[in-house]
Structure 1
Amino acid sequence: MTKIYVLDTNVLLQDPNAVYSFEDNEIVIPAVVLEEVDSKKRYLNDVGRNARIVSKMIDGFRGTGKLHEKIVLENGGTLRIELNHRSFQQLQEIFIEKTNDNRILAVAKNIALEEETKTDGKPVILVSKDALLRVKADALGLMAEDFLSDRVVELDHIYTGVQEMYVNIDKIGMFYEHGEIPLLECSGNGFYPNQFLIIRDELGSSASAIGIVNEKGTALKKLINQYDSIWGIKPRNAQQTMALELLFRRDIPLVTMIGKAGTGKTLLTLAAGLMQTEDLRLYKKLLVARPIVPVGKDIGYLPGEKQEKLRPWMQPIYDNLEYLFNTKKPGELDAILAGMSSIEVEALTYIRGRSIPEQFIIIDEAQNLTKHEAKTILTRVGERSKIVFVGDPEQIDHPYLDEYNNGLTYILEKFKSQPVAGHIKLVKGERSGLAQLAADLL
């Protein structure tokens, strides 16, 4: 039986192609949704961009028929703009105010009541990213669903970049002796290029080893990073050791790194970038950028020149640089950076249109990127550059993103099978015992 899906505005603003995600079912877009989309067209961000895409797409549909009646989509489904069914009679005793959300609820409820009077009535489902709107729909006896087609992965299946395996102790000895072992001799399959494996003795002894899968996924090799200390930073756990392996590999130009607050993501990446830029001279410049997304209420416009405006947003980066440069006095870091033209701290606002060759690029707080922004950044990377995306998918401040549909998750899942990419999830907090406890409990 076909179904009727009533779409909320946030579904279209999250994914402009959402209308093609419901197979051969009927899609209803309330007129108030068009008004909300129209009000967002002037935004200079991804929401505004998506609003403009939706507007052009629906305008293009007019050539196939009358939108207020019904048009057939390419995937076999149908779409109509709902101008009727706006009566508030069914809602007035529960939700008094005629807000846009309540108008969408009214449309869905009235269509559902109409379908109930038919012998072949269809189920009516409200689709919304707004949890409270789904709760209100449930209070009215309406079926409601979250829009999940934009998710890159299902719950708890985000790729971690590391796997444990138990093997015969002889295989561990062979690994240390020859520097690699064929993966066909290990239990398990489906290994990704540059995936880390921790092999342990199947009989329970303390023998173990850490290796990285080769680009063909056929052999496990020893790690090649030879640096025990990078700008005073030493790896404190196995995952940090794996992270440094990825950060120093010239044959892996794309690295993604996720982990809770305090696991050392940004500090390790900055230290590796500084060493390869300043000491080894492998790159001409270290570029550090992060999206400007506030935590809590925005502080509004800031006075001063561009660098003065950016300083509050970039302060977490400067905090890590102060630690690495071991600065003691106010202004000392600024003086150091002024004398080092090879270090650039920038906002992602200014990255469009650039080409960035021969640079070590760090994108911090990448979980606040949309898929489109992530694509835009990756397409800026020039020859002989390395780019590292760092973030915590569990700490998202963007209103239209979650742990499973953000740009960072999108990149790591799409590139996990590519030999040019590597990924690691840092687990253990190293900032302080309190920070680790807070990350776990809160």
Structure 2
Amino acid sequence: MPLPKDSLFFGFDAKLTDEQRAYVNSIFDRQLTIVNAPSGTGKTTLAVAVAKLLGKPLVYVFSPVEEGRMGFRPGTQREKEAAYITPLTDALYEIGDDPEKAIYNPENLSSSKRGDTWVYPMSHVFARGMNLKGKTVIIDEAQNMTRGELKKVLTRIHTDCHVIIIGHDGQCDLKDEGKSGFVPYIEHFRNEPYAAVCELTVNFRGKLAQHADKLRW
């Protein structure tokens, strides 16, 4: 089931590049889609847009880089998460959804009672012991997760979930880039019939951002 032909896709349909359309169709068609793409290519926005159309609750998994960091940051859980879910909130704005209503907030349950809430952010730190059923799962900035951290999330996922692993092998924030599990998992799943690996190359933020991304350290 690719992108429905009668869908305007939040205004994106006519603007999609061939790469983006293949990415979007893969999310509909496969249980697992892995996208390796630099910043500004629309990878998170398109994943959130498809998740909205799929109609399942969205679990948005992020990495605080250092596993213990979430517990030591000051503030409420929502305030701790805010620094890590900016790509999610930006994507929700892009599809015309209000993050304050769409994202679950344990400090404000009124939106949940109205039925507006459909997005549940979660650090991979809290994934152990969970069962993810009937969800769309976005694992964002996956290049900042180790093999063990990605394994901890992926082994919680049931067959009725759609999963999108988003990352860029050229932008790892781990102190030891060799510990990243992103590229190893690309190769681990590449030839599985229920999985697809996609790449996006067009940076829509412009020449400055695209040229900056080419610098390696």
- Choose the corresponding residue for 2:190, options 403, 412, 416: 416
- Structure 1 or 2: larger strand share? 1
Q: Does 1:245 align with 2:25?
A: yes
SS in structure 2 of the partner of residue 325 of structure 1: coil
Question: 2:100 — aligned with what?
Answer: 334
Question: 2:44 — aligned with what?
Answer: 266
Question: 2:141 — aligned with what?
Answer: 365
Contact 1:325 1:333 in 2 (8 A): no
SS in structure 1 of the partner of residue 172 of structure 2: coil
Question: Displacement of 1:412 after TM fit?
Answer: 1.2
Question: 1:425 — aligned with what?
Answer: 199
Which has the higher Rg, Structure 1 or Structure 2?
Answer: 1
Question: 1:226 — aligned with what?
Answer: 4
Q: Which has the higher contact order (CA 8 A, sep 6+)?
A: 2
Q: Does 1:397 align with 2:173?
A: yes
For residue 357 of structure 1, what is the amino acid of its counterpart?
A: K
- Structure 1 pair 224/388, CA: closer, same or farther in 2 (3 Å)? closer
Contact 1:289 1:345 in 2 (8 A): yes
TM-score, normalised to structure 1, is 0.43
Please list the CA deviations of residues 167-189 of structure 1 after superposition, one character each: whole Å capped at 9, or x if unmatched: xxxxxxxxxxxxxxxxxxxxxxx
2-structure distance, mates of 1:374, 1:421: 16
Contact 2:145 2:181 in 1 (8 A): yes
1-structure distance, mates of 2:133, 2:36: 25
Question: Displacement of 1:260 after TM fit?
Answer: 1.0
Q: Which runs of 5+ in 2 are unaligned?
A: 104-110
SS in structure 2 of the partner of residue 231 of structure 1: helix
Please list the CA deviations of residues 183-214 of structure 1 after superposition, one character each: whole Å capped at 9, or x if unmatched: xxxxxxxxxxxxxxxxxxxxxxxxxxxxxxxx
1-structure distance, mates of 2:160, 2:118: 16
- Structure 1 pair 335/374, CA: closer, same or farther in 2 (3 Å)? closer
Q: Which runs of 5+ in 1 are unaligned?
A: 1-222, 278-282, 327-331
Question: 1:440 — aligned with what?
Answer: 214
- Choose the corresponding residue for 2:180, options 384, 389, 406: 406
Question: Displacement of 1:409 after TM fit?
Answer: 0.9
Question: 1:184 — aligned with what?
Answer: none
TM-score, normalised to structure 2, is 0.83
Contact 1:254 1:422 in 2 (8 A): yes
For residue 190 of structure 2, what is the amino acid of its counterpart?
A: K
For residue 245 of structure 1, what is the amino acid of its counterpart?
A: N
- Structure 1 or 2: larger helix share? 2
SS in structure 2 of the partner of residue 313 of structure 1: coil
2-structure distance, mates of 1:267, 1:315: 11
Contact 2:102 2:118 in 1 (8 A): no
Question: Displacement of 1:267 after TM fit?
Answer: 0.8
- Structure 1 pair 243/236, CA: closer, same or farther in 2 (3 Å)? same
- Provide the identity percentage: 25
Contact 2:70 2:80 in 1 (8 A): no
Contact 2:64 2:70 in 1 (8 A): no
2-structure distance, mates of 1:293, 1:315: 15
Q: Does 1:382 align with 2:158?
A: yes
SS in structure 1 of the partner of residue 132 of structure 2: coil
1-structure distance, mates of 2:3, 2:64: 33
Question: 1:325 — aligned with what?
Answer: 96
For residue 153 of structure 2, what is the amino acid of its counterpart?
A: I
SS in structure 1 of the partner of residue 208 of structure 2: helix
Q: CA RMSD of the aligned region, Å?
A: 2.4
Contact 1:265 1:390 in 2 (8 A): yes
Aligned length: 202
2-structure distance, mates of 1:357, 1:299: 25
Contact 1:233 1:271 in 2 (8 A): no
Question: 1:293 — aligned with what?
Answer: 65
For residue 78 of structure 2, what is the amino acid of its counterpart?
A: Q
SS in structure 2 of the partner of residue 361 of structure 1: strand
Question: Displacement of 1:300 after TM fit?
Answer: 9.7
For residue 100 of structure 2, what is the amino acid of its counterpart?
A: D
Contact 2:101 2:117 in 1 (8 A): no
Contact 2:3 2:24 in 1 (8 A): yes
